[in-house]
Chain A
Amino acid sequence: MIISNKKVLEVVRLSLEEYRKKYAYGEDYGTRYFKFGPIADKPEVIENRGLFLAGDQSVVYKIFGISKQIVVGPEVINYLGSREEVARYLVYPMKDGVIDRGDERAWQVLYELTVYGFKKALEKVGGDFEGFYVTAALSAIAPDYMYEKIFDMHVKIDRELKAVKAITIIPQPLAVAIAQKTVTCVVVESGHGNTQITPISMYPIRNAVLSLNRGGAEADAITAEILRDLGYEDRASEEKFVRMFKEAVGLIPLDLDEAIAKAKENPERFRVKYRVPGTRIEIDMEDKSWMRFLIGEIIFNPEHEIFESYYSRGMPRPRDTIIGDERIRGTMPLSEAIEESVSKTSIELQPSLFRKIILSGGNFAWKVPSDMRDVAVDAATKIKKQLSDIGIEASVELTKDPVYSVWKGCIVYSLAVPDDYSWNWERREGWFKRGEHY
């Protein structure tokens, strides 16, 4: 298709008009954190959770003039009471990026979080404000009803606060690619319970998206087993402790067998002592420090034979994914999963996709001690090696800004997509606009 210079510039100017440069707004609905805000260098961040002020306490709160039903944001801490209350009234709406359609409490919390964000942003708008151009990002596997609910939520907010001129929703991997300024790539997004592989070439290639039912939770599970082997059975049941220990001692091996051999030959070199924060308790891994490499390896290759004894002890094996009549092994090595995903795209595109693989999500953020660079690597190096072992030369990098990249991608999307590009359910793109859709 032939497009003139003049036409492109006209379109770009319309998109980058002054109004959008002030009132582009991004929302990243992550499983643990909600990142939000108008165009800036970085977003605001609050925990993706809400506390219901219900039950016996609601009368007490009314006496003190507190009339709200749900508390979100930094204020939540002030209302947390006993552990039983926390279990009953504190709601984390998202599980692996998805909310059940019928989970009313979760949707209420998400609504309050969204309102919280807009109220903060509305404090700083100018006299020319007519509503934000909002781009929200959801997990790549979010179903259509989540899109519908988010649109409905923003319509309601606009009716109350006049805060939303137009809203659109994009998948998080697309937002990552936009933030990385890469038009053709594969985004591998790995969170607590889920890893998604999304090839992108100007658009996400939807029928090539591959989802694995594993993530940071697997690293937590092997860490718990290691704590048990070290004699800390009681600590192994504390989720938060397990995560802290994992992040402090876990390592990704370039080659697991070689790393274990080196660590067993020279245990002092890899020995680590973890001091439990706020206490004098110290966990010394002594000659079992080779187990540090299991924590990193399980994310990339849970099929390694060393994990069989842990699975037979009862450690959960990642579940298979079934899409149509295709079964994807839950334990499939990550390199094989990337190859499988890319193989569903056109042959001409595949070399370009392998030239740019972007890793995103907290599950890929691992430290490499400077004195262990001969055995321990970062996630990008690990995947590059794994792909090389199966005959694929690829270029792999971590997102430059793992915490904020999705939100940044949302802002760029809000800036650039033309105003007259309306929402289309087949393409799952476009603006859902005041005055047109509601």
Chain B
Amino acid sequence: MITEAKIKSLLKEHLLRKEWEECSHRLDDIFDLVFKDGRNIIGIKILGIYTDSHARLREEIENAMLETLKAGSGKVDKIYIAVPANTRLAVLPPANKFKKAGIGLLLVKEDGGVEERIIARPLRSETLDLKQLEELSSLITSLKAKVYAIEERIKEIQPLKQRLSLLESKISRIDERISAIRPRTLTVPDTSAYIKENVTEKEIARISTDLPEFARDNPWLTVLSRRGSEDKP
């Protein structure tokens, strides 16, 4: 038979391993353990099994649920009842009673294992403050802008598909023409017609010496200066 003291010790170890913080709280006379999991204060009432009478055991647990709700209301965020894992579930109050009350149920094994059989619900309802509302509002605004951008982009695609198909057929006709004339042309390399990068870069360097450092020797000056001329013959 696992005692309440043992359950307390095993439960405490388990919660500390989860990096919850134990609180020194004034509600110790109602709750056997009070912990904090970052945001929530959690009160745990431990019940050992000291009677064979199922009815009495169930009554004890239901009373504990009422007492902890009454005492913990406004002071803790969540409440759990902890019992030994070998407690027959038929003896416990039905699960929907726990869920209605928002109280969780923990089953503690002798080897230290803890099962969260029923999850506790927050007792204190959260309301959104003005700051949270503003954050939500700006999030919605940003999402709306993104959705709009996506819709606009989709609209653009339709005419582009038609243009693409037109261009494809043009390219294919040009390709045929080039194939026809290629054998008749002599390919003589004309070195003066090619860009001599060293000379061009030197000229750009010379022109850009009186510019700020971030513009000097910047290859983008050449790249950007060709914008538009790539399309011209």
Contact = CB atoms under 8 A, between A and B. Distances in A.
Nearest to B228: A421
A421 B225 CA distance: 10
B176 interface: no
A257 B157 CA distance: 46
Given A9-B203, A183-B219, A143 B149 contact: yes
B212 interface: yes
Given A141-B149, A178-B218, A202 B196 contact: no
> Which of A39, A324, A415: most chain B Cβ within 10 A?
A415
Interface string B117-158: 000000000000010000000100110111011101000000
Interface string A400-416: 01000000100111011
Nearest to B190: A2
B224 A15 contact: yes
B199 interface: yes
Interface residues of A, number: 61
Contacts of A324: 150
B149 A418 contact: no
A143 B200 contact: no
Contacts of A420: 228
A100 B200 CA distance: 45
Contacts of B39: 228, 313-314
Given A313-B37, A408-B214, A418 B228 contact: yes
B193 A4 contact: yes
Contacts of B222: 8, 12
B220 A13 contact: no
B210 interface: yes
Contacts of A99: 145
Contacts of A7: 229
Given A202-B223, A413-B224, A103 B141 contact: yes
Contacts of A297: none
A188 interface: no
> Which of B138, B146, B214: most chain A Cβ within 10 A?
B214
Contacts of B194: 2
24 contacts: A2-B194, A3-B226, A5-B195, A11-B225, A12-B204, A12-B222, A16-B211, A16-B221, A41-B212, A98-B142, A101-B148, A143-B145, A145-B152, A179-B214, A183-B220, A309-B19, A310-B38, A314-B39, A408-B212, A408-B214, A415-B215, A415-B221, A417-B225, A418-B229
Interface of B: 18-19, 21, 37-39, 130, 138, 141-142, 144-146, 148-150, 152, 160, 192-196, 199-200, 203-204, 207-208, 210-215, 217-230
Task: Across the A-B interface, give the 6 residue pairs with the lowest CB-CB distance, nearest first.
Answer: A143-B149, A416-B224, A421-B228, A408-B214, A100-B141, A98-B145
